[in-house]
Amino acid sequence: MFLYLEKNRDSILDWVNRYAKFDQVIEILPIDFDQHWIRLLFLQKKYLFINLINGVMFPSFIALFPLIVGYSVEGGRLDLLATTILTLLVLRLINWWTFRYHPIYVINIYHSVKTRAYEYLIKVDPLFHSTRSSGQIISKINRGSQSLMALVEMMLFSALSLVASSLTVVISLFIISWQAGLLLTVIYAGLIALSGILFRVRTILHYKVRTGSQDKATAINVESMQQAPFIRASFATQEQIEELMKRNKYAMEQEAIGRRWAGYLMDPIQILFALLMLSLALILWNSGAEPGILIGAILSLAGLGRQLFEVGRTIDKVVVNIEDINDLYEFIRDFGKQTYPVLISDEKTM
């Protein structure tokens, strides 16, 4: 079978392409780097709408599902139970069908940023390239475009569904017990604010060091490849490799430090959060609600709890991704604005 696939690869791929019509939906979007990057998200309105609907409706309903089941069983409402299950199936079907638009939206954004960045740099007066490092440029473009893709995916996959399901549970809790609803709102707000502040502090302190080390590592990686004949002819391959190892190891260390910081910051937040969630469950238990609804509410909370643990991590990624995107946009905006001669001495390690 594998041999058959290998032999007929081209015709199979042709068929897939014809069926999916990728050539009609994949496009390099127009990007103006002088505008805020957030505008980029609205360039594909149709796909954005589909993805937003997908990201809100399905997770909200999933979050509500145990509560509705509890309510239906408690009130003997089998018609409601049947309608709920049917709705879930329909939503799942819509979710499955529309999911295909998600990669198109993300791929168009990711590759458009990359391609337009290179397009812009080609148009810049060659004099501005004369002292720039190709590796540094590649590093910034890759990091910025990858972060934009990660941010969009996170928004569509986790952040949006997290917000939707959280809001649903908060509203439901308010209906059962206003104290529980209020406490959950406070937990949310506190968690988001605390994570936001802590990760912003981390970013201010460490972002430039981390990205700078990445840029320098990529700079030597790319230059070693480009200038390999000269390096080899100078019989300095070993020295170049040592410098390459040194810079890459330093970049790895900075990457590890950044991640470790995230771990250190997340631990106390999560412990605090677990205690608050436990208090919330106790409040609910003592609220006097019907047992079926109560169990449904606690199940909804438990389902949400696992996701809520991700709030800090999500905010961490969002903060870093936004910094990466801003870094790329600022770099592109500034590139070509200097007056010649441009002698940038940012390679102090040389």
Closest CB 249 distance from other proteins, rounded Å: 17
φ and ψ at residue 76, rounded to 5 degrees: 65, 25
Closest CB 255 distance from other proteins, rounded Å: 23
HSE-CB of 86 using CA atoms within 13 angstroms? 6
Number of Cβ within a 10 Å radius of residue 318? 19
Closest CB 225 distance from other proteins, rounded Å: 12
Q: Nearest-CA neighbor of 273 among 166, 174, 157? A: 166
Closest CB 231 distance from other proteins, rounded Å: 8
Look at the block and give the residue holding tokens 């979050």: 63
Closest CB 123 distance from other proteins, rounded Å: 17
Q: Taking CB under 8 A as the rule, does residue 156 contact other proteins?
A: no
Query: Which position among 15, 178, 230, 285 is part of the footprint of other proteins (CB under 8 A)?
Result: 230
Identify the burial level of 88 via C-beta atoms within 10 angstroms of its C-beta, where 0-12 means exposed, 13-18 middle and 19 or more buried: middle
Stretch in the footprint of other proteins (CB under 8 A) among 95-103, 114-122, 128-136, 307-315: 128-136
Stretch in the footprint of other proteins (CB under 8 A) among 19-27, 82-90, 98-106, 233-241: 233-241
Determine the Cα angle at 306 with ends 271 and 81, to 5°.
140
Query: Which position among 13, 204, 236, 252 is part of the footprint of other proteins (CB under 8 A)?
Result: 236
* Residues in the chain, total: 350
Helix (H, G, I), strand (E, B) or coil at 189: helix
- Is residue 143 within 8 Å of 190, Cβ to Cβ? no
Helix (H, G, I), strand (E, B) or coil at 276: helix
Query: Which position among 8, 83, 237, 286 is part of the footprint of other proteins (CB under 8 A)?
Result: 237
Stretch in the footprint of other proteins (CB under 8 A) among 75-83, 139-147, 186-194, 339-347: 339-347
Q: Taking CB under 8 A as the rule, does residue 267 contact other proteins?
A: no
Query: Which position among 235, 306, 334, 337 is part of the footprint of other proteins (CB under 8 A)?
Result: 235
Give CA–CA dist 118/122, Å, rounded. Answer: 6
Closest CB 224 distance from other proteins, rounded Å: 9
Query: Which position among 11, 24, 238, 339 is part of the footprint of other proteins (CB under 8 A)?
Result: 238
Query: Which position among 129, 200, 206, 246 is part of the footprint of other proteins (CB under 8 A)?
Result: 129
* Residue 152: alpha-carbon gap to chain centroid: 6
What is the per-residue binding string for other proteins in 9-28, x denoting contact by CB under 8 A? Answer: --------------------
Residues of this chain, 196-225, that bind other proteins according to CB under 8 A: 219, 223
Query: Which position among 87, 95, 115, 131 is part of the footprint of other proteins (CB under 8 A)?
Result: 131
Closest CB 42 distance from other proteins, rounded Å: 37
φ and ψ at residue 319, rounded to 5 degrees: -60, -45
Query: Which position among 80, 81, 120, 132 is part of the footprint of other proteins (CB under 8 A)?
Result: 132
The helix (H) or strand (E) run that includes residue 86 is helix 78-98
Closest CB 330 distance from other proteins, rounded Å: 22
* Residue 35: alpha-carbon gap to chain centroid: 21
Look at the block and give the residue holding tokens 């999560």: 270
Q: Nearest-CA neighbor of 113 among 86, 140, 89, 88? A: 140
Contacting residues toward other proteins, per CB under 8 A? 126, 129-134, 219, 223, 226-227, 229-239, 341, 343-345, 347, 350
